[in-house]
Chain A
Amino acid sequence: MEFNDHKEILEKDIVERYVLSHLSDDEEIAFEEHLLYCLKCREEVRKMEKIVFSVQQTESSRIVASGNKNLQVRKKIRAGKLLLKVAAGIVLLAGISSIIYYFSRNGKSITEDKKEQIVATQIDSVNSLSGEQERSIPEKIIDTIEIDSGDGKILPQKNKNLMAQAFLPNQIFENALENIARSGGVKIEIPKNSDTFRQNSQIEFKWKSDPTTDFVLAIFTNTGEILFEEPVSSPYIFKKELKPGLYYWQLETDLETFYTGKFVVQQ
């Protein structure tokens, strides 16, 4: 496929589709080669990139600005609400004082027959955020250790098990599991995602793929830290000892990730 005719580029909206990544692979290669020789199209691409970016930025600024406008309105409403709360508090206090005064003057007490329920309402306090951090990877409290306070009482003490954290799934990798790159397939033989290995055992990686593709094997902890990243060929035996935990691994080339998998290491 070649783009030699600007009429075709215009009719098919090639420039816009290129900037929006809507071209097929063949169209993209052909257009990019055309860009080597065509200053006019290069200029058009640059202008289109700026236009698309400006539209996006203008819209996002508008939404942020509408949020800021609400901020000003909310501040006024908050100030008004605070004033109302103070006034309500004063009225309530006055009301309670009157009731207490009334009963103390008449010697009445609240009897079983005449139960006058005094509904006391609390002044609403401004709710504060609980201080709990939203966690996308929840921490699980596993162990409870009991501590002897020394006077015969046992005080419960919760302890976060750091070991458990090493097994928590990483959502980014979980979403990518078994994702096969579109440019070609790779058939994984071992390890399977359900595999578990002992701490001191070797881990074999084996797959079938196009023999001309050079892969890099990358191994990550569940926090995304890269532990190992080297060019390998199938089969490959990973010999380094891993601590107990959940691990993710990827087969990748320089330009894309072909496969994402996981395995567990136990004590």
Chain B
Amino acid sequence: MPDIGNFEIFISKLKEDDIESWAFAYEHVELIVRNWCRKNKLELEWIGDINGVNNEGELFRSICNGLRQTVINENENISGFSDYKKKTLIITARLLKEKFSDFYSLLKTGNDRAWKRFDERLRIYAIKWFSNRNYQRESDIPDIYNESLKTMLEKISGNKLFFKNSSMLKSYFFSILENKTKEYKRKNNFTMDIIDDVLEGASVMETNEYDDTYFFLKNELNKLADTEQYILKEFYMYDKNLLHIAKELHISYENCRVIKHRAIKKLMEAVKIH
């Protein structure tokens, strides 16, 4: 780690084009950009260019190059950490907009990898969406989700729609999902033939581009006690607070908190070793 005592030293090292400091900045940019995208409901992975979908590393490199341009070539004055963060995020917003536009073009042309990426994140939100609406019939969810995805593909391929960013694209999908759910409730016995064909296709989409750590963590999660698994799932997937979860499990809040911390600690240790 470079010898960075404070922010002023950090910026002066960046201006000197110190390689170690820029490598350090790259790692830091990764974290703050991820956080900003999470808060603004933007998808970092829905990015591409004319050659296909991009990985996040390429985006972060581009952001750092932009930052380098700002700090060194343009010799812009950076008055403090807030200013540094703001400049980083302005560059990010611009790049993300361009890359999302290319990703959306890939979706429109039915690019497989783009659709896999799209589905991977969307299904998590869809399940949360159903949970927030207290939709009881869990077995219906894949049907409705896949039917909505099919409709989405038709609409996008029809070339009539434009989306400024990934957040708007998601909003559009959820408006389709809402309509499909209402329709499903009304005519509960619509044919399974077409849906099942789509669902079979969806099971192929299980093969995702996960890195090794995901599969490792999945195994580690399964090794946790049932209560630990339940608490983590309800907290991180369904956004319930610990008080609510504690009531469901008929345990005290403090007990619930301790169990959760213990589970996280086990997983953190496991990742460290891995």
**Which residue in chain A gives the minimum CB-CB distance to B169?**
A172
* B19 CB–A CB distance under 8 Å: no
The residue from B82, B151, B264 contacting A134, defined by CB atoms under 8 A apart:
B151
Within 12-40 of B, Cβ neighbours of A (below 8 Å) are at: 24, 27-28, 31-32, 34-35, 38-40
Q: Which of B28, B154, B191 contacts A42 (CB 8 A)?
A: B28
**What separation, in Å, do the CA atoms of A256 and B93 have in the docked complex?**
9
**Who on chain B is nearest to A132 by CB?**
B183
Known: A39-B1, A47-B272, A61-B206. A67 touches B139 (CB 8 A): yes
Query: In the complex, which residues of chain A have a beta carbon less than 8 angstroms from the beta carbon of B214?
Result: 50, 53-54, 57
**Pair B191/A55 contact, Cβ less than 8 Å:** no
Are B35 and A18 in contact, CB atoms less than 8 angstroms apart? yes
Known: A56-B237, A57-B218. A64 touches B206 (CB 8 A): yes
Chain A hits for B232, CB < 8 A? 55
A106 at the interface (CB under 8 A from B): no
Chain A residues near B200 (CB-CB < 8 A): 71
Check A223 against B171 for contact (C-beta < 8 Å). Answer: no
Q: List B contacts of A20 (CB < 8 A).
A: 236
List residues of chain B with CB within 8 A of the CB of A64. Answer: 123, 142, 202-203, 206
B31 A42 Cβ-Cβ under 8 A: yes
Kindly state whether residue A52 has any CB partner on chain B within 8 Å: yes
Q: Residues 178-221 of chain B: 1 if any A CB is under 8 Å from the residue's CB, otherwise 0?
A: 01100100000111111010011011001000100110011001
Cα–Cα distance between A64 and B130 once the two chains are bound (Å): 13
Q: A57-B210, A255-B93 are in contact. Are A63 and B81 (CB under 8 A)?
A: no
B127 at the interface (CB under 8 A from A): yes
Shortest C-beta distance, B259 to chain A (Å), equals 15
B90 lies within 8 A of A255 (CB): yes
What chain B residues lie within 8 Å of A29 (beta carbons)?
A: 81-82, 85
Q: Is the CB of B10 closer than 8 A to any CB of chain A?
A: yes
Q: How far is the CA of A68 from the CA of B226 in the complex (A)?
A: 23
The answer to whether the Cβ of B160 comes within 8 Å of any Cβ in the partner chain is yes
Q: Is A127's beta carbon under 8 Å from chain B?
A: yes
**A16 to B24 CA separation, bound complex (whole angstroms):** 22
In the complex, what distance in Å separates the CA atom of A33 from the CA atom of B237? 28
Q: Indicate if A133 sits at the interface (CB-CB under 8 A).
A: yes
> Which residues of chain A from 1 to 49 have any CB-CB distance to chain B below 8 Å in the complex?
16, 18-21, 28-29, 32-33, 35-37, 39, 42, 44-49
> Which residues from 205 to 226 on chain A have a C-beta closer than 8 Å to any C-beta of chain B?
218, 220, 223-226
Residue A58 is within 8 A (CB to CB) of chain B in the complex = yes
Contacting pair A172 B154 (CB below 8 A): no
Contact between chains at B194 and A129 (CB < 8 Å): yes
Contacts of B89 in A (CB 8 A): 254-255
- With A29-B81, A51-B264, A55-B237: A66-B221 Cβ-Cβ less than 8 Å: no
Q: A28-B35, A129-B194, A255-B90 are in contact. Are A58 and B203 (CB under 8 A)?
A: no
Which secondary structure dominates chain B's binding surface?
Answer: helix
Bound complex: CA A20 to CA B202 (Å):
29
Which B residues lie within 8 Å of A50 (CB)? 213-214, 217, 271
B164 touches A226 (CB 8 A): yes
A200 proximal to B (CB < 8 A): no
- A63-B35 in contact given A54-B221, A134-B179, A254-B94 (Cβ < 8 Å): no
- Known contacts A54-B218, A66-B138, A225-B162; A36/B7 CB under 8 A: yes
Could you tell me if A57 and B124 are in contact, using CB atoms closer than 8 angstroms?
yes
Nearest-neighbour CB distance to chain A for B244, whole angstroms, equals: 15
Q: Which residues of A contact B143 (CB under 8 A)?
A: 67
Q: Does chain B have a CB within 8 A of A75?
A: yes
Distance in angstroms between the alpha carbons of A64 and B143 in the assembled complex: 9
- Residues of B contacting A71 with CB < 8 Å? 196, 199-200, 203
* CB of B131, distance to nearest CB on chain A (Å): 10
- Is B161 an interface residue, CB under 8 A from the partner? yes
The 9 A-B residue pairs with the shortest CB-CB distance in the complex, in nearest-first order: A67-B142, A54-B217, A224-B162, A254-B90, A55-B236, A33-B81, A225-B162, A136-B175, A59-B237
- Chain A positions within 8 Å of B, measured between CB atoms, are 16, 18-21, 28-29, 32-33, 35-37, 39, 42, 44-61, 63-64, 66-68, 70-71, 74-75, 78, 126-129, 133-134, 136, 171-172, 175, 218, 220, 223-226, 254-256
Given pairs A55-B236, A63-B138, A226-B164, 9 additional interface contacts (CB within 8 A)? A18-B35, A21-B35, A61-B206, A67-B143, A68-B202, A129-B190, A134-B183, A224-B168, A254-B89
